[in-house]
Amino acid sequence: MALRLFDSLTRETRELVPGSPDGVYRFYNCGPTVYAPAHIGNFRTFVVNDVLRRLLELQFGPDKVKHVRNLTDVDDRTITQARKEGRPLGEITAHWTKLFHADCDALNLLRPHVEPTATGHIVEQVEMIDQLVQRGHAYAAADGSVYFKIASFADYGALSRIRERELLVTDTAADSDHKNSVGDFALWKAWKPEEDGTVQWPGPKGAAPGRPGWHIECSAMSRKHLGKTIDLHTGGVDLLFPHHENEIAQSQCCTGVPFARHWYHSEHLLVNGTTMSKSKGNYFTVRDLLDKGHSPTAVRYALLAGHPRKQLNFTLDSLHAAEKAVATLRNFRAALLPSGGSPEAFASVFAALHDDLNTPAALGALFSIVNKGSAGLDLPSFDRVLFALGLRLDAPEAPKAEVPSYVNTLAERRWAAKQSRDFNAADALRAEIQAAGWQMLDRKDGYSLEPLKR
């Protein structure tokens, strides 16, 4: 069955096929900027990409897919955060990378085959900038920064269909006074001691020491790890312009061949009708939801419940519904035959996934099978569906934990001590309860016990 996906460049839904003779499908997914926790909006994008990765593996074989997802560990935001905290850049980015990976594991994301960092590829970025300058596509400005000259690339705007007029409006770069033309974008940013602190590297030829612009990292890293032309390039819809438009310009002006054969952008997760974002502060992290007692599988399910190319409004109700759906799937699985069922039983689920990654239709198809009962269906076929969706039903779930009986006893004793105004004893018992991982929430007429937040 052909795996078809909307292509943001041609605006057609096209089949995914490897472009190179070795049959390896080359997949680049723009990764996170590691200066703050990734929120579940970011994870919507990463989960959708993970389903794509899984479908590609099922389609071409696990050893015929190469998946690269980068870490942006130097840019304006990471540097600003490091300065704010008065800590070295590498310490900040290492911290947030570790937490990002923990959330990826909780959500059952397959690890990319390569996870390159921007700071680990300065040489490759500088080389690419040198090439662009040599070929007349870039120029050094008076302050030692280097800019890409968009007028030198006739296809500029092909992905975003942006017109010259709109470029003027969208250009908000603070350093625009050094550029020849407003649409030109930074490939290299000259060191500004008051902003950049100690963050700097030797620059391209004719440029000052400084750091790479954001866009060049993906051009350089995808070329190094996947070659000049990649099969699929993805990210959230906000990356389409200018990030991906600029990646195309940089890469194609260096290599002279098409950069990506297919582009895919997933839509945003909203809260109360606005995009969930770090800068707006209106976000949930994976950790927030797990601490509330939700299971990671339900979080993943909720993120897949909407069509990836449509905005999805996140609510705690949708998460409760996901929780129930996951429980139903777990019960269903327990009743399946060990083998011998019809291998085509779940074809409708795959048909939906292969039709432009229609995850809500796939879940709908799955539940219409589940609702008919498990007769004649077997585990291996069902587990193939679970693999494609990345739903781990055997994962250690984190529902409301049972209060151990000795904690209940401690709580009763503390409540009694408090009633008789023996506050020293009450405080000592509260400490014991906390040491056991619980907290006691007092009300006028009684108390409840909650697991302590990790």
Q: Using the rule CB under 6 A, is 238 a contact of ligand AMP? A: yes
Q: Using the rule CB under 6 A, is 268 a contact of ligand AMP? A: yes
Q: Using the rule CB under 6 A, is 297 a contact of ligand AMP? A: no
One residue of 200, 255, 277, 439 binding ligand AMP per CB under 6 A: 277
Residues sharing a CB contact under 8 Å with residue 89, sequence separation 6 or more, in sequence order: 73, 74, 78, 79, 82, 197, 199
Give the CB-nearest residue to ligand AMP: 236
269's contact among Zn ion, ligand AMP, none, with CB below 5 to 8 A by partner kind, is ligand AMP
Binding piece for ligand AMP, criterion CB under 6 A, among 20-28, 103-111, 236-244, 443-451: 236-244
* Residue among 25 and 43 whose Cβ is closer to ligand AMP: 43
Chain centroid offset of residue 72 CA: 12
In the complex, minimum distance from the CB of residue 118 to ligand AMP, in angstroms, rounded to a whole number: 11
One residue of 112, 144, 157, 235 binding ligand AMP per CB under 6 A: 235
3-state secondary structure the chain: CCCEEEECCCCEEEECCCCCCCCCEEEEECCCECCCCCEHHHHHHHHHHHHHHHHHHHHHCHHHEEEEECEECCCHHHHHHHHHHCCCHHHHHHHHHHHHHHHHHHCCCCCCCECCECHHHHHHHHHHHHHHHHCCCEEECCCCCEEECHHHCCCCCCCCCCCHHHHHHHCCCHHHHHCCCCCCEEEEEECCHHHHCCCCECCCCCCCCEEECHHHHHHHHHHHHHCCCECEEEEEHHHHHHHHHHHHHHHHHHHCCCCECCEEEECCEEECCEECCCCCCCCCEHHHHHHCCCCHHHHHHHHHCCCCCCCEECCHHHHHHHHHHHHHHHHHHHCCECCCCCCCCCHHHHHHHHECCCHHHHHHHHHHHHHHCCCCCEHHHHHHHHHHHCCCCCCCCCCCCCCCHHHHHHHHHHHHHHHCCCHHHHHHHHHHHHHCCEEEEECCCCEEEEECCC
Contact map string, positions 174 to 213, toward Zn ion, x by CB under 5 A = ----------------------------------------
121's contact among ligand AMP, Zn ion, none, with CB below 5 to 8 A by partner kind, is none
One residue of 24, 27, 28, 32 binding ligand AMP per CB under 6 A: 32
Residue whose pair of structure tokens reads 């432009």 in the numeric block: 356
* Residue among 218 and 302 whose Cβ is closer to Zn ion: 218
42's contact among Zn ion, ligand AMP, none, with CB below 5 to 8 A by partner kind, is ligand AMP
One residue of 221, 276, 352, 363 binding ligand AMP per CB under 6 A: 276
Q: Using the rule CB under 6 A, is 146 a contact of ligand AMP? A: no
417's contact among Zn ion, ligand AMP, none, with CB below 5 to 8 A by partner kind, is none
| CA distance linking residue 48 with residue 70, whole number of Å | 16
In the complex, minimum distance from the CB of residue 187 to Zn ion, in angstroms, rounded to a whole number: 14
In the complex, minimum distance from the CB of residue 81 to ligand AMP, in angstroms, rounded to a whole number: 12
268's contact among Zn ion, ligand AMP, none, with CB below 5 to 8 A by partner kind, is ligand AMP
* Residue among 132 and 140 whose Cβ is closer to Zn ion: 132
Q: Using the rule CB under 6 A, is 302 a contact of ligand AMP? A: no
One residue of 236, 306, 308, 390 binding ligand AMP per CB under 6 A: 236
| Sign, Cα dihedral of 424, 430, 434, 436 | positive
- Strand 25-29 and strand 138-140: the pairing is unpaired
In the complex, minimum distance from the CB of residue 269 to ligand AMP, in angstroms, rounded to a whole number: 4
218's contact among Zn ion, ligand AMP, none, with CB below 5 to 8 A by partner kind, is Zn ion
Contact map string, positions 21 to 40, toward Zn ion, x by CB under 5 A = ---------x----------
Binding piece for Zn ion, criterion CB under 5 A, among 36-44, 54-62, 84-92, 216-224: 216-224
- Ranges within 385-444 binding ligand AMP (CB under 6 A): none
Q: Using the rule CB under 6 A, is 239 a contact of ligand AMP? A: yes
Binding piece for ligand AMP, criterion CB under 6 A, among 29-37, 115-123, 165-173, 294-302: 29-37
Residues that bind ligand AMP (CB under 6 A): 30, 32-33, 41-42, 44-45, 72, 235-236, 238-239, 268-269, 275-277
